Amino acid sequence: MKKVVLLIYLVTLTALSGIMLISCGESEQQDSSRFSNQRASGNPGNVTSLSDFELEHGIGPIKQIMELTSLDNNLAKEGEKIFDSKCAACHKLDDRYVGPPQRDVLERRTPEFVMNMMLNPEENYQKHPEIKKLLGEYLTQMPNQNLSVQDARAVLEYFRKVKDEK
Amino acid sequence: MKKLFQKKYIFAFLIALSFAVFYFGCDQSKHTLTGDAASQVYIAPGTYDEFYAFMSGGFSGQLTVYGLPSGRKFKVISVFSQNPETGWGYSEETKDMLNTSYGFAPWDDAHHPQLSKTDGIADGRFVFINGNNTPRIAKIDLKEFETTEIIELPNSGGNHASPFVTENTEYIVASTRFSVPIPQADIPISSYKENFAGSISFVKLDPATEKMNVEFQIIVPGFNYDLARAGKGPSKDWAFFTSYNTEQAHTLLEINASRNDKDFIAAVNWKLAEKYLNEGKAKTMQAEYFRNYMDKKTHSAVSEKNTQVKVLYPEDCPGMIYYLPTPKSPHGVDVDPSGEYIVAGGKLASVIPIHSFSKMIKAIEDKQFDGEIDGIPILKYDAVIAGEVENPGLGPLHTEFDDNGFAYTSAFISSEIVKWKLGTWEVVDRTPAYYSIGHLMIPGGDTKKPFGKYVVALNKITKDRYLPTGPELTHSAQLIDISGDKMKLLLDFPTAGEPHYAQAIRANLIMEKAIKFYRIEDNHHPHSIKGEKESKVVREGNVVRVYMSSIRSHFSPDNIEGIKVGDVVYFHLTNLEQDWDIPHGFAIKGMNNGEILVMPGVTRTIKWEPKKPGIYPFYCTDFCSALHQEMSGYVRVSPAGSDVKLSYSLGE
């Protein structure tokens, strides 16, 4: 008798587990066909290997070496305005502040890296070994200030200008 | 025997255990024991709902945004009520939005959200909502999900039948629930019949400036005008308004306003009214009312006081307005997607009467009148009626439509939704609502193109549907599947305030246009700063202005000294962030108003009048970063007459 009971139990459990698996699976299938396929953006913690270019020049929209000609003073002036409004709350030119000093940034990073960091900070914080180290040192993440490529280019020109003014 | 008994117990226990495994093995929200209702409303984490639903907050005075089919709450949009959570109505920039001719009015009763329409279809630009108590209409911009304009209605005793839009949002219509003397007068209430009147307002939305203006009003007999809808398609030049209390009672309306066998739906030809206005038929009346709007450049409210309004009288304007007799104190009036049928919810009637627009036009041409009231011809009931729905449930109130020729009427007293067929008027299905349903809503169900997938029941009474929370219970909405022949209840969900009426629209019509932050370059607030360098503290007599900036994770300045008891301090906080979802909040110890929640790129100001000397910490209230707890500062307050010099600093 005991064996019969146990057998009935096992059969019932198996059958119910089967139903459970099927019913769970079905509802998930239905869900994936919903409007809900448009996922929210963001992909935290996804570590992929970086290309040599990315290691040297950062991750972002700048994917090749830029051609930099002689200093454009008007563009640098424009860049100074943007820097004062959107960056200076955390960066000084010569002193460590919330973030690192910026006068000598082009001695530490390539122009492309500076651009990519301004334009795509989140991904660099997640994936780039140098920027991860930076986070360890400064303990605060640089916010994305949603600069356009032109804005970032102007700020770069400002950095080129102040570098020579030291 | 005893042994067998024990075995039975063991067996039963094992079976019960199996069911428990089965039951808890699946995610509770997805399990299929109750059919597939759960999967129909389940939106997986990180994925989006199909519809935005805008539900009025009723007596909360606000508007709440939900997702459908999940019933998840996304946001409370502050409209007519002060909201200390955001600073709405407390901050210097927003408090003027609540100005009225009666002074600052920090609360209202918000009933009917209404999406703007293009060609009779919701276009996702704006949602309008009425203030019932102190008559107002608010406009919410759906790029921002913020209230950007509130206009007061003069000559109105209560703005219930509002704000319903015409086919291309040319006008937002409103009529007065309570009749009052127009213009207002200090007279006996008992002189109601001689001296009280109603008004129907046409608020124009300027297509270029998007500004609202009370273009004209029609002065009508002193009944209670209850609800409204504008026509569409063939009836697009018309708007319809129900009335009750044609008895003109001024006391115990419960009995005295329910005597007449029929009351009226007022049909207004607004195109003709507009023509009469342009021909100079309107009289100019003195009337004080406010229009408040958020200036886009400064993100600050501007209050304008108006002193005149144009009014039209039916007797001067033949053909502009007719009365359609309608049984027993009609409440809702709803126009079907074709624009031909005008459905009345006679809340005390035993049938749902449906008027025909084409028959109405013919009856007007044939002069099928049954007398007139104050220059308004009364059409013959038999000449305009298209049909009656028999046995529609007790207390029919409102009707919405699907895209398959069916209408859905809420019945308050019998607490149900009744589905019936347009044309044959036969009831085909009914489903209970828990409990006492008022309005109901089908996404697009008041437009030319309904999405007949769901109906949402908006219930007045909740009773035993949720865990009890004392005498006051949440109001509730219920999502019902209407895609098949039989209506099927899918979900109950609680709402904020009273979900009086709602509107829904496909999410993709709005989400792509929604802005993520305000550009700091476009901030022209007179006290804004464009960078931390510009932060400063300035004394002007006993007024001290703090020009403060915020960015993750500090304020500038964060140490301020030299404030004295008796000073009036304004914190003008500019949020320098230019990133999505990064507002900063600001609060200082002992403040007597609300916090300010400042969106990226915006400047907000909160007034502070410290009363005692001491050190006052301030801090960021909206968790913003890993170093959010560090985002704080101090203000030193000295006694009046102290010689502590005004100074401010950051990082020194």
Other C-beta atoms closer than 10 Å to the C-beta of A13 total: 17
Task: Give me the residue label for tokens 């140490």.
Answer: B559
Contact: B19, A139; criterion CB under 8 Å: no
| Cα–Cα distance for residue pair B313/B282, rounded to 1 Å | 8
Closest Cβ opposite residue B576 in set A9, A28, A89:
A89
Minimum CA–CA partner of B550 in chain A: A89
The amino acid present at B605, given as its one-letter code, is T
Among B28, B48, B52, B584, the strongest candidate for a mutation testing the A interface, having the largest count of A CBs within 10 A, is B48
Q: Which residues in B lie closer than 8 A to residue A33 (C-beta atoms)?
A: none
Q: For residue B35, what pLDDT is reported?
A: 65
Closest CB to B533 among A24, A36, A88 = A88
Residue with token string 């006081």: B305
With an 8 Å Cβ cutoff, is A20 touching chain B? Answer: yes
Give the pLDDT score at A140: 87
Q: What is the H or E stretch that residue B51 is in?
A: strand B51-56
Amino acid, res. A140: T
Q: Which of B511, B649, B519 is nearest to B579 (CA)?
A: B519
Residue A92 has a pLDDT of 94
- A109-125 average pLDDT score: 97
User: Which residue, among B95, B339, B158, has the nearest Cα to B238 in the 3D structure?
Assistant: B339
Partners of B531 on chain A (C-beta within 8 Å) are 84-86, 88-89
Contact A19 B11 (CB under 8 A): no
Q: Do B576 and A90 touch (CB under 8 A)?
A: no
A85 chain-B contacts, CB cut-off 8 A? 520-521, 530-531, 576
Greater model confidence, B65 or A140: B65
Give the count of beta carbons closer than 10 Å to the beta carbon of residue B424: 11
Q: Which helix (H) or strand (E) holds B598?
A: strand B596-598
Report the chain A residue with the minimal C-alpha distance to residue B47: A36
A4 and chain B in contact, CB less than 8 A: no
Say how far apart CA B444 and CA B121 lie, in whole Å: 7
- Is the CB of A85 less than 8 angstroms away from the CB of B576? yes
Residue scoring higher pLDDT (B378 or A15) = B378
User: What pLDDT, on a 0 to 100 scale, did the predictor assign at position B10?
Assistant: 52
Tokens matching residue B285? 């009346």
Q: Which residue is closest to B38 within chain A, CA to CA?
A: A27
Q: How far apart are CA B328 and CA B260, in angstroms?
A: 7
The residue of chain B with its CA nearest to that of A21 is: B26
Work out the minimum CA distance from B170 to partner chain A, whole angstroms: 32
- Encoding tokens for residue B504? 């829904």
- Interchain proximity B532–A5, CB inside 8 Å: no
Q: In sequence order, what DSSP letters do the residues of B421-455 get, joined into one string? A: ETTT--EEEEEE-SS-EEEEE-TTTTSSS--TTEE
Q: What are phi and psi of B144, to 5 degrees?
A: -105, -20
CA distance B403 to B411: 21
Per-residue model confidence (pLDDT) at position B652: 86
Instruction: Give the pLDDT band (50/70/90) at residue A38.
Output: very low
Q: What is the DSSP letter of A87?
A: T
Q: Looking at residue B36, what is its pLDDT?
A: 85
- Residue holding tokens 């000295």? B638
d(CA B477, CA B73): 12
What is the per-residue pLDDT for A21? 41
Torsion of CA B382, B384, B386, B388, to 10 degrees: -60
The yes-or-no verdict on residue A14 having pLDDT over 80 is no
The pair of structure tokens assigned to B576 is 């320098």
Contact residues on chain A for B50, CB-CB shorter than 8 A: 34-35
Q: Rounded to an integer, what distance in angstroms lies between the CA atom of residue B508 and that of residue B401? A: 22
| Per-residue pLDDT at A39 | 44
At residue A60, the pLDDT reads 97
Q: How confident is the model at residue A3 (pLDDT cuts 50, 70, 90)?
A: low
Chain B: residue nearest A83 by CA?
B531
* Contact criterion met (CB < 8 Å) for A9 and B18: yes
What residues 66-85 of chain A have any CB closer than 8 A to a CB of chain B? 84-85
Model confidence over B525-555: pLDDT tens digits? 999 999 999 999 999 999 999 999 999 999 9
Residue A37, both tokens: 């396929």
Asked whether residue A126 carries a pLDDT value surpassing 90, the answer given is yes
Residue B110 is given by DSSP the state: B
Q: What residue type is B370 in one-letter code?
A: D
A144 touches chain B (CB under 8 A): yes
Of B7, B50, B554, which is closest to A98 when you measure between CB atoms? B554
CB contact A98 to B (< 8 Å):
yes
Q: What CA–CA distance (Å, rounded) separates B15 from B21?
A: 10
Candidates B3, B4, B24, B26, partner chain A, best to mutate (most A CBs within 10 A): B26
Report the chain B residue with the minimal C-alpha distance to residue A7: B11
The reported pLDDT for the residue numbered A28 is: 36
- A17 interface with B at CB cutoff 8 Å: yes
State whether B626 and A140 contact (CB < 8 Å).
yes
Question: Considering only CB atoms, which chain A residues are within 8 Å of B47?
Answer: 31, 34-39
Q: Which DSSP letter does residue A159 get?
A: H
Determine, for residues B36 and A141 on separate chains, whether the beta-carbon distance falls below 8 Å: no
Q: Who among B517, B553, B556 is closest to A146 (CB)?
A: B517
Tens digit of each residue's pLDDT (9 = 90 or more) over B470-519 = 998 888 999 999 999 999 999 999 998 888 999 999 999 999 999 999 99
Q: Cβ B10–A5 below 8 Å, yes or no? A: yes
Contact B431, B480 (CB under 8 A): yes
According to the model, what pLDDT value does residue B9 have? 56
Q: Is A18 left (phi over 0), alpha (psi -120 to 50) or beta?
A: alpha
pLDDT band at A85 (very low <50, low <70, confident <90, very high): very high
Distance from CA of B351 to the nearest CA of A (A): 40
- Selecting from A1, A34, A84 the residue whose C-beta is nearest the C-beta of B533 gives A84
A29 touching chain B per CB within 8 A: no
Complex ipTM > 0.85 = no
- Check: CB of residue B41 under 8 Å from CB of residue B69: yes
Number of inter-chain CB pairs under 8 A, A vs B: 125
Is residue A90 less than 8 Å (CB to CB) from chain B? yes
CA distance B344 to B336: 11
- Residue A14: partners with Cβ closer than 8 Å, 6 or more residues away: none
Q: Please identify every stretch of chain B with a pLDDT value under 50, giving residue numbers as ranges.
A: 1-5, 14, 17-33
Residue B6: per-residue pLDDT: 54
Q: Is residue A46 predicted with pLDDT exceeding 70?
A: no
Are residues B38 and A84, on separate chains, in Cβ contact within 8 Å?
no
